[in-house]
Amino acid sequence: MSLGQQVGSDRQLARLLQIGIVLEEVVEARASRHYQSLAEEDRTLDAEIEALLSHAAEESADHRKRLEDLIEGLNVDSVPFDEIETLVEARYGQTKPDDFDGVLYDQLCNEETAYKFYDDLIEAIEASEASFSVDREQLLAVLRGLREEERDGVEEVTTIMEERE
């Protein structure tokens, strides 16, 4: 068993990227579910929140694609994404927020969790001397880009929450 915060193999990296995809799926599923429930229940939509959720769902789909592209470049067997997508959708299809505050708070948790995940992953890759089947600098550039967008997402939600206090 190895100790310490490091990523040492293609397989481990692929698994971590897969976990990133699951987290992005959670964000996407929750955002679109919230978006739909707002549209159904409140025809005088809150344009600001509507735009936020729509953007979050689009961004998560884009992040998933970027993570999938990285996994494709690794020397590992493919991982079953379809089943996970169904599972996440089934789980989050059942939940919906009580009000606008709940939607915002949930979105903040999603963005913060994703930011923390990418931040830890980048740190663990930087601490590792292992070589991967994908270019290390390109890998880190993609992950730093994702982290940056999650940070922007946290700030965006925080700003809206502060304005509404």
Q: How far is the CB of 3 from another protein (least distance, A)?
A: 5
**Helices marked H in the chain — which ranges?**
10-41, 47-72, 81-92, 100-126, 136-164
Q: How far is the CB of 41 from another protein (least distance, A)?
A: 23
CB closer to another protein out of 38 and 121? 121
Q: Is the Cα torsion angle 86, 87, 90, 91 positive or negative in sign?
A: negative
Q: How far is the CB of 139 from another protein (least distance, A)?
A: 14
Measured in degrees and rounded to the nearest 5, phi and psi for residue 130 equal -65, 150
CB closer to another protein out of 77 and 165? 77
Q: How far is the CB of 79 from another protein (least distance, A)?
A: 7
Q: How many CB atoms lie within 10 A of CB 101?
A: 11
Cβ-Cβ contacts under 8 Å for 4 (sequence gap 6 or more): 127
CB closer to another protein out of 39 and 75? 75
CB closer to another protein out of 46 and 112? 112
Q: Residues in the site for another protein, rule: CB under 8 A?
A: 1-9, 12, 15-16, 18-19, 22-23, 26, 79-80, 84, 87-88, 91, 109-110, 112-113, 116-117, 120-121, 124
Would you put residue 4 in left (φ > 0), alpha (ψ -120 to 50) or beta? Answer: left
